[in-house]
Structure 1
């Protein structure tokens, strides 16, 4: 079993969205409800860049720079160290905010939403094309969370944390088809959250409230469980020079001042199967 180690101080209130990219030379993640994008340097220093009330997730752009989802929009930066300079509105419905998301093999960007009160089925999943057109692709979502693609791009794995389930879709012509349940987790165990897919097509999923990351086969069988010393595990990403470092973000949300002192830190485990290179947004 892989050994989990803490690699940062508790630098976030609600850490989310880890992503490793050579575009910026390492790991970025977000302090979601503070609205900061964080970069972990080779020297262990963490740099912060504020982008607004919410920083939901960040991804590289294929032509350089990055894209970050904010409270109601996605913001585009042309340089990796620059502040965003352009905005594409996603949804300004009162009470709605953006949550997790990712880029797809076709270069589009998927952006999920929830509400501040996490009202049942009040969120959605949106697709932003490379031409910056926005279309709603899923409705009646409670907490749109992890999304990732199989190595051949024909399947998408998707978590709505409010449903307590990870579903799988077939992917064709830039659209999702034939949704069916893959993994269902009891709310007593924890909430499925962010995910990462490796080159074998197995899926690592953070389990919020359980202090764990689970690894599942493409058929939904559990293969491995990693235990962390904090309960609120939010998301994970494969990265590092060989893509075999599993980076894991955590949250302090709802914990007392003296509970779980490492909550909010980033953790890492070295695993055997490498991840897929991060997909950039082509917009």
Structure 2
């Protein structure tokens, strides 16, 4: 099945990423990594708002009315009410050429995120776990070039991630009590689809929606790795997706302009915009930082 989304916010982001649905507010949040901006979209009114950030945030999580952020080489939180940012922890061992990348909240309420070489030349990216006690723990996962997709299955027993440069999505078994990872395996390869895996989201049936950077597509994989839905975008560089809306059936998709030539931008002027499309399978309310799965 092929779906066609519409542009709902022509924001022209250089690198729009990390869409996050806030059920309590009815807003979609996302960032423009390159411009150090935070964006907000209200589906009821169609209005958008932009906030200036003192850091280049790359991933977001709900955190008690605030937004937890992985940014540059640190973790912080932003309060939209007064537009104040506070640093919580830094990553002292990260090379100066690295920055944070994608992230997501685990079933135990901790925030998992990755880092990457900002120039995308050196595979120096690693994975971290940020706990409610402000501890930052290095996860035992291989170093990568571009760290994307940090998602968990609805039951919390499978973890999905990828090194975009390898054009494959990995799956790991998650120990229900310790959170330890095992059983590394290739969940899906995107090589034959002509795009590189980027940001993603999981729906209520365990389907994994993945953005294919460079292919103008977002695809859905069933829990067994079977490709069963494809979305064609009017922008070649989809970067992230999240399911939200009043009935949790709207798939929001962020896109980028970075790396496109002027002729390419003339041909795809909506690059960098926010897109939306209705899907059959509803999504799940996002996990909030500091709340265990049983608290949802």
- TM-score, with normalisation over the residues of structure 1? 0.94
**Equivalent residue, structure 1, for 2:119:** 117
Aligned length: 282
1:79 positional shift: 6.0
C-alpha distance in structure 2 between counterparts of 1:50 and 1:274, whole Å: 32
Does the 8 A contact of 1:121 with 1:139 survive in 2?
no
Distance 1:222 1:5, change over 3 A: same
**Equivalent residue, structure 2, for 1:216:** 221
Residue 267 of structure 1 pairs with residue 278 of structure 2: no
Distance 1:87 1:50, change over 3 A: farther
Does the 8 A contact of 1:159 with 1:194 survive in 2?
no
Among 159, 166, 170, the alignment partner of 2:173 is: 170
C-alpha distance in structure 1 between counterparts of 2:81 and 2:118, whole Å: 29
Q: Is the helix fraction higher in 1 or 2?
A: 2
1:1-283 aligned at under 5 Å gives the runs 1-41=2-42, 42-61=44-63, 63-77=64-78, 82-91=83-92, 92-137=94-139, 138-172=141-175, 173-186=178-191, 189-257=194-262, 258-282=266-290
C-alpha distance in structure 2 between counterparts of 1:97 and 1:64, whole Å: 25
SS at match of 2:85: coil
CA offsets per residue over residues 86-135 of structure 1, 9 Å max, x none?
A: 32113542100001111111100011111112124210111101111101
C-alpha distance in structure 2 between counterparts of 1:36 and 1:23, whole Å: 22
Does the 8 A contact of 1:64 with 1:80 survive in 2?
no
C-alpha distance in structure 1 between counterparts of 2:61 and 2:260, whole Å: 29
Distance 1:76 1:215, change over 3 A: same
Does the 8 A contact of 2:54 with 2:85 survive in 1?
no
Unaligned stretches of 5+ residues in structure 2: 292-296
1:10 positional shift: 3.4
C-alpha distance in structure 1 between counterparts of 2:195 and 2:13, whole Å: 21
1:146 positional shift: 1.1
Does the 8 A contact of 1:34 with 1:53 survive in 2?
no
C-alpha distance in structure 2 between counterparts of 1:133 and 1:184, whole Å: 34
C-alpha distance in structure 2 between counterparts of 1:51 and 1:171, whole Å: 34
1:44 positional shift: 2.3
Task: State the 4+ residue runs in structure 1 displaced beyond 3 angstroms.
Answer: 77-82
Cα root mean square deviation, aligned:
1.8
Does the 8 A contact of 1:158 with 1:168 survive in 2?
yes
Does the 8 A contact of 2:201 with 2:242 survive in 1?
yes
- TM-score, with normalisation over the residues of structure 2? 0.90
CA offsets per residue over residues 236-275 of structure 1, 9 Å max, x none?
A: 1111111110000000111133241000000011001011
